[in-house]
A and B are shown apart, each in its own frame.
Chain A
C-alpha cells in the first residue's frame, strides 16, 4: 500500500477523513488497483470486526456486586490453599522443616552432653589463692580472711 493512503487509512475506514482527503484517496484508488484491493479488504475486515459490537447496553441483575465479592472471597481462600499445595513450594517447605529439625536435634544433643557449669565460688578463690601470703605471716590479713569466710559462709 502506498504511504499517503497508509497514513490516512484509519480516518478513511472510520469515516472521519475530511471531504478533501476522501477525494484524494479515492482518486488514488481509482488509478492504483493494488491499493484499491487492499483498502477494500480492510474495509470489509473492519465491517467484520464490528459484528462484535453489542447491540444494546447491558445492565447487571440486582446483587451483582455481592456476587463479585463472593467470588473474590472464594478465590482468595482458594489461592492460599493452592499456594500451600503448590508442589515446588511444598518441596521447599519440606526441606526447610527437615533442616530445622536437624538443627534442633543437634542443639538438644549438645546441651545434654555438656557438663553443668558450677556457680562461681569467690570464697574458694580467695582461700585457695596460691599467690597470697601463708597464714600467720600478717595478722591483719589473717583477720580479714577470717571475716570474709564468716561473712560468706553458707550451709
Chain B
C-alpha cells in the first residue's frame, strides 16, 4: 500500500471509530468528485447535489462494512452510481431519461443559439444515447459496471484499476472484455426489439 493508500486507510479507520472530524475530512476530500460523477450521469445540478448528500449519508452509515479490499474511491464510486440508478428508478424516467432536466432557460438558449438545426437535433440524440448507455449498464453486474465506468469515464488505466481493486491486471482485462461483450449483446437485443439497426 502506498503513502496515499495508508493515509486513506487511516482516515477510514477514524471514521469507522466514529470520529466526526475525520468524516468531515472525507467529505471535503471527495465531495467534488462525487458531485462530478453524478453530474456526468444526470446533467442536473440540483439533483446532483441532493444525490451527493445521500451518497455521503450512506457512506457514513455503512462505513463499518468497508473492508479495505478495494480503494475507498472505488467503493464511493460504486455507491454513487447505485444512488444515481435509485434516483432514476424513483423518477420512473423512460424514453428520454433526462428530457425533464431541460429547463425553459435551456430551451430558450438553444432556440436563440446560432447553432445549425442539425446541432440542436444532435443534443436530442445525445440525450437518447445517454439514456441507452444507462439502460445498457443496468444489464451487467455492479462490479463490471464499476470497472467499465472507472476505465472509460474516469480514464483509469488497467494498472490503476488493478491497484484500486486489489485484482491482478489480467483479471481486470478479462472482466472488462466480458463486460464489453455483454454490453454489445444487450445493445443488439435492445435495438432488435426497437426494430432499428445496431448503434454500437
Q: A interface vs B, CB < 8 Å?
A: 6-7, 9-11, 14, 16, 38, 41-42, 44-46, 48-61, 64-65, 67-68, 71-72, 75-76, 79
Q: Assess the A61–B49 pair: CB atoms within 8 A.
A: yes
Residues of A within 8 A of B60 (CB): 68, 72
Residues of B within 8 A of A7 (CB): 173
A106 CB → nearest B CB, Å: 42
Q: Is B72 an interface residue (CB 8 A)?
A: no
Q: Assess the B39–A49 pair: CB atoms within 8 A.
A: no
Nearest B residue (CB) for A46:
B152
Q: Assess the A14–B40 pair: CB atoms within 8 A.
A: no
Q: Assess the A56–B36 pair: CB atoms within 8 A.
A: yes
Q: Assess the A71–B53 pair: CB atoms within 8 A.
A: yes
Q: Is the interface of A mostly helix, strand, loop or mixed?
A: helix
The interface size bin for chain B is 35 or more
Q: Assess the A51–B27 pair: CB atoms within 8 A.
A: no
Residues of B within 8 A of A51 (CB): 126, 129-130, 133
Give the CA-CA distance A61 to B45 in the complex, in Å: 10
Give the CA-CA distance A76 to B61 in the complex, in Å: 8
Question: Can you give 6 A-B contacts (C-beta < 8 A)?
Answer: A51-B129, A51-B133, A55-B40, A56-B39, A58-B39, A72-B56
Give the CA-CA distance A34 to B61 in the complex, in Å: 49
Q: Is the interface of B mostly helix, strand, loop or mixed?
A: helix
Q: Assess the B133–A52 pair: CB atoms within 8 A.
A: yes
Number of A-B contacts (CB under 8 A): 107
Q: Is B32 an interface residue (CB 8 A)?
A: yes
Known: A51-B133, A60-B32, A64-B31. A10 touches B173 (CB 8 A): yes
Nearest A residue (CB) for B28:
A65
Docked complex: B144-170 residues within 8 A CB-CB of A: 148-149, 151-153, 155, 157-158
B68 CB → nearest A CB, Å: 22
Q: B interface vs A, CB < 8 Å?
A: 24, 27-28, 31-32, 35-37, 39-41, 45, 48-49, 52-54, 56-57, 60-61, 126, 129-130, 132-134, 148-149, 151-153, 155, 157-158, 172-173, 176-177, 180, 183-184, 187, 198-200
Q: Assess the B57–A71 pair: CB atoms within 8 A.
A: yes
Give the CA-CA distance A145 to B56 in the complex, in Å: 87
Residues of B within 8 A of A54 (CB): 36-37, 39-40
Nearest 8 Cβ contacts at the A-B interface: A54-B40, A49-B152, A58-B35, A54-B36, A71-B57, A68-B56, A72-B57, A52-B153
Nearest A residue (CB) for B156:
A14
